C-alpha cells in the first residue's frame, strides 16, 4: 500500500506524525511524505531530526480549504488525518476553535480529498468519541460520522474514507504517564479519582495499526485495536510506588471509564484478528472484512473497566521503555 506512494499527514509534527514518518521511511519505501501542519517551529525542529529528501514540509491549517487543496495537488495517494485540537480543558474553554479544527477541518479534508483524487484517507479518532460528555469527544464523534458518510459523497471516484479509534497513547502530548514520571521527582503525584481506568496503546502500536488498516479498508469502517486497560492506581504503583498521592477530583468533561465500542455499535461490529471493525449502517456497505471475522455477542461493550485484557506492571514498564526509546 505504501511503497512508492505519496502520503500527506495533517498534524504531521505531532507525536503520531513523527512516529509514523520514522516507521514509514524505515520500513515501507514511500515515494514522498508531506508534513502538513501550521507551526513553522515544529516543522523546523522535525526537519532537523528527519533529514530525508523524500520528506517535505507544507505550512497550512485544515481550516483553510484553499491551502489544503494546494497541498493535495502533489498527486497524493494516501492521506492520514491526525490534526486536531485534543486537550479536553482547552476545547471546553475554546469551543468555537475546537469546532473549526475538528469538524470544519474534517469537512475540508473530505471535500479536498475527493476533488484531488486521493485514494485512501484514514482519520484518527479517540475513545472519547463514544458516548461523549465533553466537547472534544463530541467533535470527534461528528468527524467520525463525516468521514464514514464521506464515502457516499465520493460517487464514482476511487476515494475511500475510514477511521481508526483507540485509547490513550503512552507518551503522547498531555499523557498522564510523562506527568507522573515528572511528578515522581517531587515525591507527590496527583490523581483525579482512584477508580479511574483507561485504555493504553504505544505510539508504535498506533502507527502499525494505522498501516495495517490501510491495507484492510474498503471505506466506511471504524477500526478499533484490541488493547489493554489499567486502573490509575496500578499506574501510580508502577511508576511512582514511593510517592504520596494527592486526590484532585474528576475534572469537567472527564469520565471514570472510557468506552471504545458502545452496545449499540457492537450490533454492527465484527472481531477480526487483533482488532474490532465497526461497519457502517448505510445501504452502500456491501463489503466483508474477512471470512474469518466473527460477530460480537449481543450487548457487548468494550469498556476500560470490564476489559478482559488488563495491563500488568511489567507490560506498562515495557510500554514506558518503548516510549523513552522513541523519544531519543
Hey, what's the cell of 150? Answer: 464521506
Residues 6 or more apart whose Cβ sits within 8 Å of residue 240: 180, 181, 183, 184, 189
Residues 29, 4 contacting (CB under 8 angstroms):
yes
Q: Does the CA dihedral 214-25-207-35 come out positive or negative? A: negative
Secondary structure class of 212 (helix, strand, coil) = helix
Hey, what's the cell of 308? Answer: 478482559
Annotated active-site residue 86? The verdict is: no
Quickly tell me which residue has 471505506 as its cell.
219
Residues 275, 281 contacting (CB under 8 angstroms):
no
Query: Residue 235: which of 316, 163, 131, 175 has the closest Cα?
Result: 316
Q: Answer left, alpha or beta for residue 48, where phi above 0 means left and psi between -120 and 50 means alpha.
A: alpha
Of residues 128, 140, 255, 271, which has the active-site annotation?
Answer: 128
Secondary structure class of 322 (helix, strand, coil) = helix
Active-site positions? 128
Amino acid at each position: 500500500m505504501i511503497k512508492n506512494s505519496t502520503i500527506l499527514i495533517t498534524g504531521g509534527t505531532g507525536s503520531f506524525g513523527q512516529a509514523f514518518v520514522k516507521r514509514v521511511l524505515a520500513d515501507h519505501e514511500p515515494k514522498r511524505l508531506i508534513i502538513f501542519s501550521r507551526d513553522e517551529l515544529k516543522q523546523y525542529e522535525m526537519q532537523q531530526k528527519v533529514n530525508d529528501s523524500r520528506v517535505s514540509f507544507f505550512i497550512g491549517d485544515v481550516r483553510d480549504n484553499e491551502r489544503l487543496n494546494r497541498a493535495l495537488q502533489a498527486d497524493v495517494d494516501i492521506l492520514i488525518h491526525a490534526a486536531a485540537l485534543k486537550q479536553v480543558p482547552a476545547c471546553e474553554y475554546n469551543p468555537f476553535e475546537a469546532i473549526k479544527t475538528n469538524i470544519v477541518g474534517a469537512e475540508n479534508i473530505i471535500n479536498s480529498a475527493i476533488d484531488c483524487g486521493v485514494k485512501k484517507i484514514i482519520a484518527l479518532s479517540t475513545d472519547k468519541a463514544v458516548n461523549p460528555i465533553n466537547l472534544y469527544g463530541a467533535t470527534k464523534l461528528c468527524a467520525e460520522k463525516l468521514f464514514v458518510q464521506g464515502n457516499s459523497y465520493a460517487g464514482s471516484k476511487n476515494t475511500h474514507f475510514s477511521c481508526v479509534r483507540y485509547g490513550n497513547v503512552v507518551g503522547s502530548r498531555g499523557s498522564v504517564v510523562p506527568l507522573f514520571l515528572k511528578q515522581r521527582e517531587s515525591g507527590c503525584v496527583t490523581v483525579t479519582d482512584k477508580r479511574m481506568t483507561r485504555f493504553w496503546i504505544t505510539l508504535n502500536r498506533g502507527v502499525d495499526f494505522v498501516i495495517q488498516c490501510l491495507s484492510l479498508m474498503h471505506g466506511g469502517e471504524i477500526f478499533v485495536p484490541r488493547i489493554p486497560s489499567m486502573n490509575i492506581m496500578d499506574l501510580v504503583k508502577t511508576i511512582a510506588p514511593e510517592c504520596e498521592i494527592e486526590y484532585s477530583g474528576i475534572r469537567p468533561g472527564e469520565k471514570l471509564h472510557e468506552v471504545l465500542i458502545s452496545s449499540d455499535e457492537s450490533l454492527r461490529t465484527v472481531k477480526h484478528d487483533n482488532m474490532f471493525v465497526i461497519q457502517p449502517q448505510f445501504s452502500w456497505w456491501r463489503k466483508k472484512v474477512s471470512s474469518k471475522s466473527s460477530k460480537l455477542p449481543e450487548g457487548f461493550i468494550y469498556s476500560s473497566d470490564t476489559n478482559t485484557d488488563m495491563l500488568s506492571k511489567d507490560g506498562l514498564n515495557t510500554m514506558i521503555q518503548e516510549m523513552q526509546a522513541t523519544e531519543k
